[in-house]
């Protein structure tokens, strides 16, 4: 088992307690935990959509493959043009090949991290096949499995996701991440009325050594899926309150919950306005805007006759 600090760091990362993670002190640079902790902190910055923070954290000119990969991911996320992104993907491809050799700097764990990060970047770029290949079909790294599973879920292949999960269960029982994977699958495949995800998030909420608003949001989302709208709203509102602002995900879920069987239509609309101005790139915003354009186009399919009025 890895050391307690690293364990905490990992758990915090998996359960999306990014701010907690960032606020933790780095171990001594000679410690074996130093590189992994640094990588996780950098990844937490990236997850919080602050790639600059990640880059500033990383020591320049490090030869460590994991650090190089993370830095690439940070740059990839901050790049907006595909022309900027493509060379970074190339860089990651090279790294993924490099780690097959023996003469690179970094532990086995670092090499696995490279795969996970490269896979993440490829998946973001929509290169599904390449991502899956990089992560490896026989991998025994649970983080890689988490990425693989989510990729499968995002392309509506819960069957493959389940297979990966069953495979991972053989060697990684009891890991928090495995439970998270299971609950994600449950959310997409809607098994047992979402009870597994619900109890997983409820359990994690009761975990005294960690507190993450993401978990609260996740349970709120689960409760929406379970059609427990008032309970969902209370989770989401608490999450918003505790975040003192609200991330896109919580806000988006609030919009959704507020709209379901709403007594007051304006509540959802106010939230929506807030979401679409604060987080214009959230998939919900993008998607709905696209649907809005679609609607306008479709309207023209139906010619509107003149209004019937008394002569």
Residues 247-276 that bind other proteins (CB under 8 A): 249, 252-253, 255-263, 265, 268-269, 272
Give residues 78-137 in contact with other proteins (rule: CB under 8 A).
120, 123-124, 128-129, 132, 137
230 binds other proteins (CB under 8 A): no
Round to whole Å and give the CA distance between 118 and 97: 11
Shorter beta-carbon distance to other proteins: residue 23 or 105: 23
- Of the candidate spans 3-11, 24-32, 79-87, 92-100, the one that interacts with other proteins by CB under 8 A turns out to be 3-11
Location of structure tokens 């919009």: 255
Shorter beta-carbon distance to other proteins: residue 218 or 240: 218
Q: Report the nearest approach of other proteins to the CB of residue 153 (Å).
A: 6
HSE-CB of 82 using CA atoms within 13 angstroms: 4
Shorter beta-carbon distance to other proteins: residue 25 or 304: 304
Q: Report the nearest approach of other proteins to the CB of residue 90 (Å).
A: 19
Shorter beta-carbon distance to other proteins: residue 81 or 173: 173
Among 52, 104, 205, 231, binds other proteins (CB under 8 A): 205
56 binds other proteins (CB under 8 A): no
Round to whole Å and give the CA distance between 18 and 217: 14
Q: Residues 6 or more apart from 302 whose CB is under 8 A from it?
A: none
Round to whole Å and give the CA distance between 70 and 117: 7
Shorter beta-carbon distance to other proteins: residue 97 or 299: 299
Q: Report the nearest approach of other proteins to the CB of residue 100 (Å).
A: 21
Shorter beta-carbon distance to other proteins: residue 61 or 263: 263
Among 12, 13, 85, 106, binds other proteins (CB under 8 A): 13
What's the DSSP call for residue 106?
S
Give residues 171-200 in contact with other proteins (rule: CB under 8 A).
174, 176, 180-181, 183-184, 187-188, 190-195, 199
Q: Report the nearest approach of other proteins to the CB of residue 85 (Å).
A: 14
Closest of 64, 215, 178, 46 to residue 120, by C-alpha = 46
298 binds other proteins (CB under 8 A): yes
Total count of residues recorded for the chain: 311
7 binds other proteins (CB under 8 A): yes
Round to whole Å and give the CA distance between 23 and 45: 11
206-207-208 Cα angle (round to 5): 105
77 binds other proteins (CB under 8 A): yes
Shorter beta-carbon distance to other proteins: residue 57 or 181: 181
Shorter beta-carbon distance to other proteins: residue 60 or 305: 305
DSSP character string of 256-291: HHHHTT-S-HHHHHHHHHHHHHH-TTSHHHHHHHHH
Is there a contact between 232 and 261 (Cβ–Cβ < 8 Å)? no
What's the DSSP call for residue 175?
-
Q: Report the nearest approach of other proteins to the CB of residue 92 (Å).
A: 13
Is there a contact between 33 and 109 (Cβ–Cβ < 8 Å)? no
Fill in the per-residue mask, 136 to 175: x = in contact with other proteins (CB under 8 A), - = not in contact: -x--------xx--xxxxxxxxxxx-------------x-
Shorter beta-carbon distance to other proteins: residue 17 or 65: 17
Round to whole Å and give the CA distance between 52 and 48: 11
HSE-CB of 191 using CA atoms within 13 angstroms: 12
């Amino acid at each position: 088992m890895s050391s307690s600090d690293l364990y905490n760091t990992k758990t915090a990362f998996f359960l999306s307690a990014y701010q907690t993670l960032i606020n933790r002190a780095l171990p001594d640079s000679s410690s074996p935990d130093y590189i992994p902790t640094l990588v996780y902190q950098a990844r937490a910055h990236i997850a919080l959509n602050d790639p600059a923070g990640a880059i500033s954290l990383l020591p320049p000119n490090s030869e460590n493959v994991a650090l190089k990969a993370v830095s690439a991911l940070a740059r990839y996320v901050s790049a907006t043009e595909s022309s900027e992104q493509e060379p970074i993907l190339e860089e990651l491809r090279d790294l993924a090949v490099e780690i097959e050799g023996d003469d690179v700097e970094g532990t086995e764990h670092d090499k696995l991290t490279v795969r996970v990060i490269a896979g993440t970047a490829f998946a973001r770029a929509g290169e599904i096949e390449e991502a899956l290949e990089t992560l490896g079909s026989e991998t025994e790294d649970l983080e890689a499995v988490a990425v693989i599973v989510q990729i499968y879920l995002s392309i509506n292949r819960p069957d493959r996701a389940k297979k990966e999960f069953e495979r991972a269960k053989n060697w990684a029982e009891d890991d928090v991440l495995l439970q998270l994977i299971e609950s994600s699958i449950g959310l997409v495949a809607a098994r047992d009325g979402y009870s597994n995800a619900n109890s997983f998030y409820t359990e994690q909420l009761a975990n005294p050594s960690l507190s993450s608003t993401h978990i609260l949001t996740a349970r709120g989302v689960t409760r929406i899926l379970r059609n427990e709208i008032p309970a969902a709203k209370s989770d989401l509102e608490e999450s918003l309150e505790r975040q003192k602002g609200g991330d896109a995900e919580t806000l988006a879920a609030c919009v959704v919950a507020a709209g379901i069987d709403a007594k007051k239509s304006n509540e959802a609309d106010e939230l929506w306005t807030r979401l679409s101005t604060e987080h214009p790139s959230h998939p919900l915003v993008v998607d709905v805007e696209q649907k809005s354009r679609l609607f306008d186009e479709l309207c023209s399919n139906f010619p509107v006759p003149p209004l019937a009025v008394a002569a």
